[in-house]
Amino acid sequence: MKVLADLVSGETRFLVQRWLSSRCDCTCSRSASFLGPEIMALGLLWLGFTLLGALQTQARDPAPKLIPAPPLDRVPLQPDFKDDQFQGKWYVVGVAGNAFKKEEQGQFTMYTTTYELKEDHSYNVTSILLRDQNCDHWIRTFIPSSQPGQFNLGDIKRYFGVQSYIVRVADTDYNQFAIVFFRKVYKNQEYFKTTLYRRTKELTPELREKFISFAKSLGLTDDHIIFPVPIDQCIDEE
């Protein structure tokens, strides 16, 4: 007991006193600061059991399973992709993915993504989002792969935990809309999403249905599809 008592000091002693006080009546609480070594050691032991139980409960509740990402050969690729025509500013008017939830729709505001073509045919990609009343700028580079219209995230080592990141332009007419597929492996967990781009904020019924149909072809459901709330702040700034 003496060895255990010697280990109980400082912050640990304070925590044990509070833990014991919370489980005693008012008399016990008044004497918590005068606990002897044996009582303190016993309290430490019970505190350990409590923490262990909490950890075991947490371990029994694994993270929810995500819908598996489809193989890339199941995801369409825009034929004869023209990188110069695809560049420019796009409004994100629809998103769907295995980590999205329909209940978040009201909190999800529209944002923009601008593709700037470089001489090596990679893109500087800038997304502008409204977050906490501030305009956030997210900048990254997309490097072209051997397949026109498919890209990899540049300088991936900068992004902690990201093991792979693939971008695939599934469908576009360049002037009005684009549907883009993203697949990311982060800490051994595979995530995927698809985004509906428009050159304007307007979402037509035809494009809405087209996007829903595409998202469901990837294995997603209505619960994974969100249409962001249109806004003016940040995204209309040049």
Between CA 90 and CA 207 the distance in angstroms is 15
Asked if the structure places residue 233 within a domain, the reply is: no
Are 20 and 118 in the same domain? no
> Is the CB of residue 20 less than 8 Å from the CB of residue 33?
no
Are 122 and 197 in the same domain? yes
Between CA 7 and CA 37 the distance in angstroms is 10
Are 90 and 17 in the same domain? no
Asked if the structure places residue 189 within a domain, the reply is: yes
Structural domains of the chain, count: 2
Asked if the structure places residue 17 within a domain, the reply is: yes
Asked if the structure places residue 221 within a domain, the reply is: yes
Measured from the Cβ of residue 232, the count of other Cβ atoms closer than 10 Å reads 10
pLDDT of residue 36: 56
Q: Of 59, 88, 103, which one is at a domain's C-terminal end? A: 59
Percent of the chain whose predicted confidence (pLDDT) is above 90? 68
| Residue 14 predicted with pLDDT over 70 | no
What's the CATH code of the domain at 168?
A: 2.40.128.20
Are 90 and 191 in the same domain? yes
What average pLDDT does this structure show over 108-128? Answer: 98
Are 52 and 25 in the same domain? yes
pLDDT of residue 71: 97
What average pLDDT does this structure show over 222-237? Answer: 94
What DSSP designation does 101 have?
-
Are 41 and 99 in the same domain? no
- Side-chain half-sphere CA neighbours of 180 within 13 A: 21
Asked if the structure places residue 185 within a domain, the reply is: yes
Report residue 237's pLDDT band, with 50, 70 and 90 as the boundaries.
confident
Are 33 and 151 in the same domain? no
- Tell me the pLDDT of the chain averaged across its residues: 82
Are 7 and 118 in the same domain? no
pLDDT of residue 13: 44
- 181-80-169 Cα angle (round to 5): 10
Extract long-range pairs of 125-131: CB within 8 Å, 24+ residues apart: 128/234, 128/235, 128/237, 129/234, 130/231, 130/233, 130/234, 130/235
> Is the CB of residue 193 less than 8 Å from the CB of residue 182?
yes
Asked if the structure places residue 234 within a domain, the reply is: no
pLDDT of residue 64: 62
| Residue 95 predicted with pLDDT over 50 | yes
Quick one: how far is CA 106 from the chain centroid? 17
Are 129 and 85 in the same domain? yes
Domain that holds residue 22: 2-59
Asked if the structure places residue 65 within a domain, the reply is: no
Look at 222 and 238; give whichever has higher pLDDT: 222
Are 38 and 80 in the same domain? no
Q: Of 59, 80, 100, which one is at a domain's C-terminal end? A: 59
Are 51 and 77 in the same domain? no
170-214 confidence digits (pLDDT tens) = 999 999 999 999 999 999 999 999 999 999 999 999 999 999 999
Asked if the structure places residue 235 within a domain, the reply is: no
Q: Of 37, 59, 81, which one is at a domain's C-terminal end? A: 59
What average pLDDT does this structure show over 82-96? Answer: 98
Percent of the chain whose predicted confidence (pLDDT) is above 70? 72
Are 150 and 216 in the same domain? yes
Measured from the Cβ of residue 138, the count of other Cβ atoms closer than 10 Å reads 11
